[in-house]
Amino acid sequence: MYATTSITSEQTTMYGGIFQLRLMHCLHITIPNWLPKSSRKRLAMLYNQVTMMTLELAQTVPLTQWEDGSIRITGSRVTLDSIVHHFKLGATAESIQASFPSLTLRDIYGALFYYLENTEAVEDYLSQQDEAAEEGQHFIEQHFDTTPLRERILARRAQQARRA
């Protein structure tokens, strides 16, 4: 007579932000019933230790900080601000990719992962970016006369509206 035993075990630990997963394969071993219980247990443990493998999982984020302080998707000019803005409006990663075809889904999911894992820090960064944009707009309005340009743009829009 033989007994069939299944052994499954897994253990997950975290070291400095890197997850290490220890996974032991599910074994189906046939152990003769005539072996004493202590020998059967030792045999099962021996098989379990032999098949153990270690996987190290780490998440790298596809973000780069430019000299002007903006955070952008690595290899593109698309800012983290743009991705987060679309995400907050309810856009999916696929619809964000439709808006930014130069990005891969991996890039978008990586940026969203970073945002969700560091929401407070990213929100602080976004508020600083908004303040900088307002300061830039005030500077332009104070130092440059934009009235003629604004009038030309409004005239062109009115002309286009009449054509349509």
Q: Is 70 exposed, middle or buried (0-12, 13-18, 19+ CB in 10 A)?
A: middle
What backbone torsions phi and psi does residue 70 show, to the nearest 5 degrees?
-75, 150
User: Do 13 and 51 meet the contact criterion of CB atoms below 8 Å apart?
Assistant: no
CA dist., res. 96 & res. 90, Å (int):
10
User: Do 95 and 83 meet the contact criterion of CB atoms below 8 Å apart?
Assistant: no
b/e map 26-42, b = 16+ CB within 10 Å: eeebebeeeeeeeebee
Q: What pLDDT score was predicted for residue 60?
A: 79
Q: What pLDDT score was predicted for residue 71?
A: 95
Count of residues making up the chain:
164
Q: What pLDDT score was predicted for residue 140?
A: 87
| Residues of the chain falling short of pLDDT 50 | 1-29, 48-52
In order of start, what are the domains of the chain with their CATH numbers? 2-57 (no CATH), 63-163 (1.10.10.10)
